[in-house]
Amino acid sequence: MNVGIIGAGSIGQLLFHDLRLSDDVNPVFIDTRLPADALGTSFIFECCREADPSEKSYETTLEKHDEKKTVTEAYQGMVFPGEKTADQDLIIISVKANQCGKVLQSLKGYLPEHIPLVLLMNGMGIWEEARTILPNPFWTGVTSRGAVHEGRIVYPRGNGTTYIGSPEHQKPVQEIELLARSIGAIISLRIEEEQLQKLLVNACINPITALHQCKNREIAATYINEAHEIFLEIYPVLKTLGLTVSADRAFDFVLTVAEKTGENDSSMAVDFKKQRPSELDYILGYILKTGERLHKALPVTKNLYTILKKQEDSFQPPPLTSPKSLKETSKSKN
C-alpha cells in the first residue's frame, strides 16, 4: 500500500518510521507547496538534498533511548509535490489544524475522490471544514504519542496510543485496517469520545503553557488553579457534546498527562515562542463557538483566548510572567 504523508513534523516523521517497518506499506512525504514558496522556510526543503525539482530525497533519523544504549535508525524517504497524491492508496495529513484547509484546497483537481484521508492533528472542527472542501472519505485520528524533532533527528517522548475512526461511523476499509496495524493504532467506533478527551487535555494544558512559556509539568505544579478554572468552564460544554468520563476522573487525567509529558513543550507553547500561528482557534476557539451555540458563558476561557489571540495576531510571544489567576487578568482589563 502506498501512503502519502503530508506534514513532516514530529508526528509525521514518527509515522514515517513506523510505516517503513511494514513490508506492506511504502510511505513517502508529500509537500503541497510550490518549491519556490517553500525554499528556505520549509523544514522538508531545508533538510533535503536537491535532485530533480519534482523529486526530492529526505533523510530522517529516529533515536530511541533505553537504560543501556541509544538505538539510531536512519531512513531515506522521498518528497514529492502534491500531484503525487494521485498515486497513493491513502493520505495522512499531519499538519497543524490551522494549515489543514489550505492543504486540502491545494489537492483539488488531482486527488481521486476514492482515496481516503486521515486527519491526525490537535483540535476539533477540522473534519467539518474538510468535508466542505473535498468529497473524499475522511477519517480522523487522535494520538497521545509524543515526539520532537531537531533537524533530521526525531526523538520519541513517551509512549502513547493512537486511535483512528470515522466521524460518520463508517466500517473500516482495507486501507485503514492496514494503516492501523502498521502504526499500532486502535480503530475506534466512537472516535468522538477520544477527540473530546484529547481536546479537554489540550485546552487545559496548551494555552496556559503558551501564555507562561513553561513546560507541561508546570500545569500540575504551578498553574493548577488556572488549569482548573478552564476545566470547570469547558467540561460541561464537552459533556454536552458526548464526553462521558466523570469530572473528577477527567481533571485527574489532565494532570496525569501534564506530569507524564512534564519535560515536553506543548506544540502551542513552541508556536508562540517561534511567533507563528497556532491551533488556538481549533482548541479554545472551537470550544467558545460551541459554548455560544449552547448559550453557555465561558468568561475565563474567552479571556485566555483573547489574550493569546491578540499576541498571535501580532506574532508576539506571550509574556514570561502573568497574573496568578486568569480571573484577575480579566478584572484588571475591565
**pLDDT score recorded for residue 32:** 74
Instruction: Report helix, strand or coil for 294.
Output: coil
Residue ranges for the chain with pLDDT beneath 70: 33-80, 149-153, 157-158, 315-334
**pLDDT score recorded for residue 119:** 97
Q: How far apart are the first and last CA of the chain?
A: 58
**pLDDT score recorded for residue 160:** 82
**pLDDT score recorded for residue 60:** 58
**pLDDT score recorded for residue 29:** 86
**pLDDT score recorded for residue 83:** 79
Grid cell locating 286: 472551537
Buried b (16+ CB within 10 A) or exposed e, 81-102: bbebbeebbbbbbbbbbbbbee
Per-residue pLDDT tens over the stretch 164-215: 999 998 888 999 999 999 999 999 999 999 999 999 999 999 999 999 999 9
Q: What are phi and psi of 236, to 5 degrees?
A: -60, -35
